[in-house]
Amino acid sequence: MTDLQAVLTSPGVIVVLTALVGMGLGPTARAAVYLAGLAVSALVLVGYEQGLAISFALVDAPYLSVDLTPLRVDRLSFIFALIFHIAAALNVIYAWRISDRVQDVAGLAYAGAAIGGALAGDLLTLFVYWEITAIASAFLVFAPGTRESFGAGMRYLVVQILSGLFLLAGLVLFVSSGRGMAFEAMSLTAASGELDFAALALFLAFGIKAAFPFLHNWLQDSYPKASITGSVVLSAFTTKLAVYALARGFPGADPLIYIGAAMTVFPVFFALIENNLRKVLAYSLNNQVGFMVCAVGVGTELAINGAAAHAFVHIIYKALLFMSMGAVLYRTGTVKATELGGLYRTMPATAVFCIIGAMSISAFPLFSGFVAKSLTMSALGYEGLFFVWLVLLFASAGVLEHSGIKIPYFAFFGHDSGKRPKEAPPQMLVAMGVAAALCIGIGVFPQALYAILPYDVKYQPYTAAHVVTQMQLLLFATLAFALLIKFKLYPDEVASTNLDFDWFYRVPGRALAGWVSGASGATFNAFWAIFSGRVHAIMERIYAVHGPEGQMARSWPIGFMALWTAILLGFVLVIAFFA
């Protein structure tokens, strides 16, 4: 097999082509083809040798040489590509019954682009897949067809394209400075100590997709408004592809430590007062990505392993939580805490799966979150970052409050809403069951996960110190929740809209846009009045001279006209003589 054939049959290309092939099939056949395509792609991925890199000379000239590496497989890219396959398969199963052609095709193309991006060895290939993820994922936000989803989809698309523009700018700056397009670790500062604007552009591109603070609102705006299956797919790929890009491009970048720490904290407060449970999960997603970003900023082998492990397990348990809320939405038509409660009576299996996801995200021992999050916490401790460690410890307690307890409590327990919906459809239960089994299996047998991490790891999460510390945190956080509920001090679930940072550019921005539109309209009208007035005056003057009653239209004496005829004839004769 030639290098070109290897690239054309790489996992990302296989999955994207599978999505296109399934476009013309019926729901059942499409799902079967998609699962088969993902299985083939996964086998191809597993069959690659670690360290494989296929490169081509895109430009080979005396004054410029640029290489393209569309396929690179190492331990960092492998683990992200593998979990993207698992997430895509879970979504195909979950969406089987409520299959929609556009969503199915967009969802799998989105997954394929994320896989291709994780395996990209150069910035141009990454950019192509980056843009495919942006466009394909937007269809999942548009899918419900409501006015809200359309507005959120347009805002989402604008932000994702902006991220792509920063990536393209960084690419161009790298090539123009003679550094090529290789996607390797880089620094935000040049050797001279000055800020490297090429690296900064890439940092912002990755930061937008990772939902850095003040750049995060696209996530909470779009994910809750996406379709039932769309939110499951969205939770898996965009932000985790950004985490991979940061781990590849900026490991050990100090700003990421503090950016990640901030990301873990501020969503806690918004999630506690949010009524829409899918939006609670969106804030929780932002919080969890903060742990990964912080680990990338630490940059040690243990920390990078922590970021990769956390991304791996987070994709599974976050998908499980979104699937459980999607099943609730599918059966009841709402995911608002004020309208739910008591659903465990008729949706017991969904409630159990939701609790497993909640325990995983809360990092209970014997669940996947514990064996992944402890890597990052240990890395912070080993590096002496005690203050940041305390921040992440506080954020861990917050995770238990808003995702570990609030989601299952208000959806399935709490006050009885009187709703008695059917249990989730079988294919949804199968997808949730597989995800739940993975959450428990990884938690009980963590060495299987540790074996595929980017660096060799000799780490034992189940030490007395780790288990006791984590259980103390979880039990006291649970006690705090119980006391707050008991004494009615927990923030009431209110049907309201909570204001976030996007208020500063959506409300004043809309007002500014309205003012600019009005001012520009008034300016145009003023200039048009001046212009049309001048034109009207000129036309009146022309009409006065050449109109039916103008000077040129009056009757002239015969002698006068004979004189002018002689003058004109003489002028013509003179011209003819000289010509």
Sorted by where each begins, the domain ranges of the chain are 251-498, 506-578
For position 176, what pLDDT does the model report?
Answer: 87
Residue 334 gets which letter from DSSP?
Answer: -
Whole-number Å distance between alpha carbons of 253 and 348: 45
For residue 532, give both structure tokens.
């049309």
pLDDT given at position 277: 92
C-alpha 469, offset from chain centre: 34
Q: Where are the beta strands (DSSP E) in 502-567?
A: none
Which element (helix H / strand E) includes 54?
strand 52-61
Contact assessment for residue 9 and residue 70, using Cβ atoms and an 8 Å cutoff: no
In this prediction, residue 188 carries a pLDDT of 92
291-345 pLDDT, tens per residue?
A: 999 999 999 999 999 999 999 999 999 999 999 999 999 999 999 988 998 999 9
- Residue 113 to residues 123, 132, 427, Cα–Cα distance (Å): 14, 6, 25
Question: What H or E segment, with its residue span, contains residue 404?
Answer: none
pLDDT per 10-residue tile (average), the chain, 579 residues: 73 94 88 95 93 78 70 95 96 86 93 96 94 95 91 92 95 88 91 88 96 89 92 94 96 95 89 88 93 96 96 96 95 91 93 95 93 93 92 89 86 87 94 97 95 91 88 85 76 64 70 81 88 85 71 69 84 84
Element (H, E) at 58: strand 52-61
pTM score: 0.87
pLDDT at residue 551, rounded to an integer: 64
